[in-house]
Amino acid sequence: MHVPHSYIEESVHSALSEDVGTGDVTARLIPKDDFSIATVITREDGVICGIDWFEEVFSQLDSQVYIEWDVDDGDKVTPEQQICTLSGSTRALLTGERTALNFLQTLSATSSIAAEYAAAVAGTHAKVLDTRKTIPGLRIAQKYAVNCGGGYNHRIGLYDAILIKENHIMASGSITQAVEAARIHSPELLIEVEVESLDEMQQALSANVERILLDNFDLNLLDEAVKLNNGQAELEASGNVTLDSIRSIAETGVHYISTGALTKNIKALDLSMRFS
């Protein structure tokens, strides 16, 4: 997934604005021409993501700060492993430390949990998808992080794919009518229908939709759904997906498994910046 640099610039500018405000009054205690070297290490296992955001923090504070990386986005790391070395103005390093680490540890948290879920379905044909349950303001960043961890992206927002849910169906009159309206208004977009029963699934199949979301189907229903589908549409399982259950879900033969856990049930990767 390509992330526009302008998006990173805006995200970092907003983060620095809320943290630095009118200026870092504590960093001003350090002589302006003081120079430091610092290293970032990880205290736990994980998958790194967020290098561009980390670099942009210091680029906006002081373009003379130099960063040498020992890892790339998507690399696995272990406790006490060195991530990068920074050299430059002590003031800039101190001011940017928290914001830079916030981006790196949050996006690394997302890529790390995505890697766990992707590993859990390895050897099956299922792909793990993210959802729109992201941290406000970090939608693109977190979806990029999911990719770094080996997961795949569902729709980015409400504009790049059509997902017809229960309330859309009720308002439209039926699954068939909702699908027909979608094809008229946005013929170029993927059309997916969320169903809660095999009867609704049959209606979606009759409407020839490209993908069907099987909402909270248990394993037996998923098996029946795969048989009923007979290869006609892409099938996506969703609802109460956990690391303990995802393997069994994948083995039913569905094409995709989506879970909000990749972007909302995250714990920041434990990172630390140490000054020499």
Shared domain for 156 and 78, answered yes or no, is no
133 flagged as catalytic: yes
Query: Strand 234-238 vs strand 256-258: parallel, antiparallel, or unpaired?
Result: parallel
Q: What is the pLDDT of residue 131?
A: 97
The single residue of 10, 28, 80, 98 carrying the catalytic annotation is 98
CATH number of 178's domain: 3.20.20.70
The single residue of 43, 76, 132, 133 carrying the catalytic annotation is 133
What DSSP string runs through 44-104? Answer: S-EE---HHHHHHHHHHH-TT-EEEES--TT-EE-TT-EEEEEEEEHHHHHHHHHHHHHHH
What DSSP string runs through the chain? Answer: ----HHHHHHHHHHHHHHHHTT--TTGGGS-TT-EEEEEEEESS-EE---HHHHHHHHHHH-TT-EEEES--TT-EE-TT-EEEEEEEEHHHHHHHHHHHHHHHHHHHHHHHHHHHHHHHTTTSS-EEE--S---TT-HHHHHHHHHHTT-B---SSSSSSEEE-HHHHHHHSSHHHHHHHHHHH-TTS-EEEEESSHHHHHHHHHTT-SEEEEET--HHHHHHHHHHHTTSSEEEEESS--TTTHHHHHTTT-SEEE-THHHHS-----EEEEE-
Residue owning tokens 């229960």: 166
98 flagged as catalytic: yes
CB crowding 63-73: b at 16 or more within 10 Å, else e: eebebebebeb
165 flagged as catalytic: yes
Shared domain for 126 and 215, answered yes or no, is yes
183 flagged as catalytic: no
Shared domain for 111 and 124, answered yes or no, is no
Is residue 208 within 8 Å of 183, Cβ to Cβ? no
The 10s digit of each residue's pLDDT in 91-129 is 999 999 999 999 999 999 999 999 999 999 999 999 999
Shared domain for 51 and 125, answered yes or no, is no
Q: Is the dihedral of CA 224, 195, 189, 4 positive or negative?
A: negative
The single residue of 130, 192, 194, 200 carrying the catalytic annotation is 194
CATH number of 71's domain: 3.90.1170.20
pTM over 0.85: yes
- Which range marks the domain in which residue 187 is found? 119-258
Our count of domains for the chain comes to 2
Shared domain for 92 and 134, answered yes or no, is no
56 flagged as catalytic: no
The single residue of 19, 210, 215, 234 carrying the catalytic annotation is 215
- Quote the mean pLDDT of the chain: 97
The single residue of 43, 132, 165, 264 carrying the catalytic annotation is 165
Shared domain for 28 and 140, answered yes or no, is no
Shared domain for 100 and 25, answered yes or no, is yes
Shared domain for 166 and 252, answered yes or no, is yes
Shared domain for 192 and 229, answered yes or no, is yes
Give the pLDDT band (50/70/90) at residue 234: very high
Shared domain for 165 and 95, answered yes or no, is no
Shared domain for 127 and 235, answered yes or no, is yes
The 10s digit of each residue's pLDDT in 5-63 is 999 999 999 999 999 999 999 999 999 999 999 999 999 999 999 999 999 999 999 99
Shared domain for 140 and 44, answered yes or no, is no
